[in-house]
Structure 1
Amino acid sequence: MKVATHIVFGECCLFAASAVFDFHYETPSVLAAALCSVLPDADYPKSWLGHQLGSVSEDLHRLFGHRSFMHSLLALALVTATLGPLLWWLTGQSATMIAVGVGYGSHLFADMMTLGGVQLFWPSRAIAVFPGRDEYRVVSGGNSERVFVALALIFALLFYPVSRVGFDGLVYRLGGADTLYGTVTKVTDGDTIEVETQGRTTPVRLIGVDTPETVAPDEPIGCYGREAYSYTKRILYERQTDEEGRVVREGRLVRLEIPRIGDSEDAYGRTLAYVWIDADGDGEYEHLFNEDLIEQGYARTTTFAHTYRREFERAREEAEERGAGLWSACPEVETT
């Protein structure tokens, strides 16, 4: 198959693996999957990679032939075990190691779907193919390969958004959400506020975040709890006065996003919501305060499924790596 076919199929497999196995990736992983999706063709001097490698490719071809050792499970394991940890160390992202295995494995699987097959279990000379009937397999360079790469591209485009938000996030997004606008009237805790909306005061628990406790009965104040409470109060309920000292605002206007899937209230009767604020004053309410708490190191993430779980997990990992907030201030905090 052509190099473009392998790259597209490799990225499709990476996006699908991320969606199914719930790991997130960044640009280095995408590049690693693309590189490793063409790496097995190092044993074929006429391939694009073979031309780049020159005599190295000729030596590999002379020693093993094409679609033998370099197209085997043994080579997959060796490349993943050597190149994977190196890229992990260089990038600081564990997903690059997964991308190496996924990209390399995608090439083997794609070549199994051609008429020639591969010696998947090298040094055994047995040829592995899929599917079993010749008429259902791909002819390299023919119309069937064009159909294959077109389908791979379609699936890649379909899997990409799922890989970024997860299946649970996609389900919650498809389920929609109710929107309410209101004014924050009280900050109870770092992750709990009260909002006056439609003429009534509603206690709100921020979805997906967990700040250290400050008001839990019979429990000590948690490490970094006061800081989280102060930050939430400063951002969402900072009293403003005019030049004459008169109060002009006692709470910030916010937009509540309440998912229609799942419980709308917790066990204490608090509305579960995402709190959006208008950070730049353009009336768009584009800034998600829940995520802001995580990015600044004031909150951990919760484990249950919700709309922005993957986005929150990425923010939490980045905050933990930076040692932001509680991740450096609290020695007893559990790290992953």
Structure 2
Amino acid sequence: MKVATHIVFGECCLFAASAVFDFHYETPSVLAAAVCSVLPDADYPKSWLGHQLGSVSEDLNRLFGHRSFLHSLLALILATISLGSLLWWITGQSSSTIAVGVGYGSHLFADMMTLGGVQLFWPSRLIAVFPGRDEYRVVSGGNSERVFVALALMFALLFYPVSRVGFDGLIYRLGGADTLYGRVTKVIDGDTIEVEAQGRSTPVRLIGVDTPETVAPDQPIGCFGPQASEYTKQILADRLVRLEIPRIGDSEDAYGRTLAYVYLDADGDGRYERLFNEDLIELGLARTTDFPHTYRREFERAREEAEERGAGLWNACPDMESWAS
């Protein structure tokens, strides 16, 4: 198959794996999947990669032949361990290791759809191909490959948005949310407030964030809890906010507090687009919760970035397990 076919299919597999197995990725992982999706063809001098490698590709071809060792499960494992570990060390992202395995494996998967197949269980000479009639297999450079890459591109475009928000985030978005405007009358702690809306006071628990405890009667004050509470007071006290309450899932927690995203009108244009929940995470004032919600993956990415920067509690609190959940 052509190099473009393998790259498109590799990205399709990465997006699909992220959506199904619930891991998020960044640009290094996308690049790793693309590069590794063409690596097995290093043993084929006539391929694009073979031309780039020159004599190295010819040596590999003489030593192993095409679609043998480099197209085997053993090579997949070795590449994932070696290249994946190196990228993990460089980027600090475990998703880079997964991307190496997915990208490399996608090449083997694609070549098993052709007539030639691959020696998947090398050094055994057994040829592995997907079952099916020969006339329906992919032929390199033919119409069947063009159809294959078109389908791979279509599925990649479908899986990409799901891979960014997750299946749970997609479901919550499709379910919609109720909107309520009100004024913050009291800040209880960093992630809990009271909002006066429609003539009554409503206790609100911010979805997806968890600031250290400061008011629980049976628990000590958590590390960085006072700072988180003070920030919430400074920003939200006596301020008009927009509450977004998802229609899917529970609308209240076990304590009867409304679960909501809190939006601010940061620019004074009446649009209320600044998500305060995410602000707490980006500033290192809260960790994320692990239950499904609309912005879980976005919050996780923000939390990882805050932790890498050593923002707020990620620098000040060495013992994270001392927090109350």
TM-score range, shorter chain: over 0.9
Q: CA deviation at 1:283?
A: 2.0
User: Secondary structure at 1:334's aligned position in 2?
Assistant: helix
Q: Could you report, residue by residue, the CA deviation over 1:173-215 in whole angstroms, capped at 9, with x for unpaired residues? A: 1110001111111101110111111222111110111111111
Which residue of structure 1 lines up, in the alignment, with residue 288 of structure 2? 301
Q: CA deviation at 1:60?
A: 0.7
What amino acid sits opposite 1:321 in the alignment?
Answer: E
Which residue of structure 2 lines up, in the alignment, with residue 184 of structure 1? 184
User: Secondary structure at 1:7's aligned position in 2?
Assistant: helix
Distance in 1, matches of 2:177 and 2:5, equals 39
What amino acid sits opposite 1:230 in the alignment?
Answer: E
Which residue of structure 1 lines up, in the alignment, with residue 108 of structure 2? 108
Which residue of structure 1 lines up, in the alignment, with residue 42 of structure 2? 42
CA contact (8 A) 1:29 1:96 kept: yes
Distance in 2, matches of 1:111 and 1:48, equals 16
Q: Could you report, residue by residue, the CA deviation over 1:68-103 in whole angstroms, capped at 9, with x for unpaired residues? A: 111111111111111111111122211111111100
Distance in 2, matches of 1:59 and 1:81, equals 24
Runs of 4+ in 1 over 3 A off after TM superposition: none
Choose which of 300, 313, 321 in structure 1 pairs with 2:300.
Answer: 313
What amino acid sits opposite 1:281 in the alignment?
Answer: G
Gaps of 5+ in 1: 238-250
User: Secondary structure at 2:37's aligned position in 1?
Assistant: helix
Which residue of structure 2 lines up, in the alignment, with residue 92 of structure 1? 92
Which residue of structure 2 lines up, in the alignment, with residue 225 of structure 1? 225
Which residue of structure 1 lines up, in the alignment, with residue 149 of structure 2? 149
The answer to whether residue 164 in structure 2 is matched with residue 127 in structure 1 is: no
CA contact (8 A) 1:131 1:137 kept: no
Distance in 2, matches of 1:334 and 1:36, equals 38
Distance in 1, matches of 2:222 and 2:268, equals 34
Normalising by the residue count of structure 2, what TM-score does the alignment of the two structures yield?
0.97
Identity level (%): 88
The answer to whether residue 261 in structure 2 is matched with residue 261 in structure 1 is: no
What amino acid sits opposite 1:153 in the alignment?
Answer: L
Q: CA deviation at 1:281?
A: 2.0
What amino acid sits opposite 1:270 in the alignment?
Answer: R
Q: CA deviation at 1:132?
A: 3.4
Distance in 1, matches of 2:31 and 2:274, equals 30
User: Secondary structure at 1:255's aligned position in 2?
Assistant: strand
Farther-moved stretch of structure 1 (318-327 vs 178-187): 318-327
Q: CA deviation at 1:329?
A: 1.2
Farther-moved stretch of structure 1 (144-153 vs 217-226): 217-226
Distance in 2, matches of 1:181 and 1:160, equals 33
Gaps of 5+ in 2: none
What amino acid sits opposite 2:94 in the alignment?
Answer: S
